[in-house]
Amino acid sequence: MRTDGEWEGWLDFFLDGVATTADEAVASLRKLFALVAVDRSRVLARTDMSLAALRLFELLPRHPVVSVASVMKLTATTKPTAGRSIELLVDAGVLVETTGRRRDRSFVYQGYVDRLRVGTELDTCDGRTGMR
């Protein structure tokens, strides 16, 4: 088709693909915004939530995988405050511990990461091992 001069058909096919991909991207972004809004409401409704944990929550979409050390840097806070912020967001169901260790643990904004994986080959993989 491309080599026979039927470039209009090829271009139409290509542009249909671009439009479909753009529509899917917009739908995914809307779902991500909705997820963050629901989680924000749940976090704000808790009476035990600290200001540091709220600041951390607002950073999670840009940094969905965190550790105590990374939270200390992101929020310019102390180790106890970073640890408590993570703990509060784990209790709120926002963060999930992924390493299973007692030290050097990582935490993931699991709902956000899961939403990002939808429609990719990663949505059929085990998040920890990468295996299907």
Segment 67-124, tens digit of pLDDT: 999 999 999 999 999 999 999 999 999 999 999 888 889 999 999 999 888 877 655 5
Long-range CB pairs of 110-114, under 8 A, 24+ apart, other chains included: 111/35, 111/39, 112/32, 112/35, 112/36, 112/60, 112/61, 112/64, 113/64, 113/65
Is the pLDDT at 44 greater than 50? The verdict is yes
Among 2-11, 24-33, 99-108, whose mean pLDDT is lowest? Answer: 2-11
Task: Record the pTM.
Answer: 0.75
Q: What CATH architecture is 7-124?
A: Orthogonal Bundle (1.10)
- The Cα-based distances of 65 to 31, 52, 68, 90, 110 in angstroms read 19, 17, 11, 13, 9
pLDDT, position 5: 67
Domain boundaries along the sequence of the chain:
7-124
**Closest CA relative to residue 119, chosen from 14, 20, 9:** 20
Is the pLDDT at 23 greater than 90? The verdict is no
pLDDT, position 61: 96
- The Cα-based distances of 127 to 70, 121, 122 in angstroms read 21, 12, 8
Confidence grade of residue 9 (pLDDT, cut at 50, 70, 90): confident
Is the pLDDT at 65 greater than 70? The verdict is yes
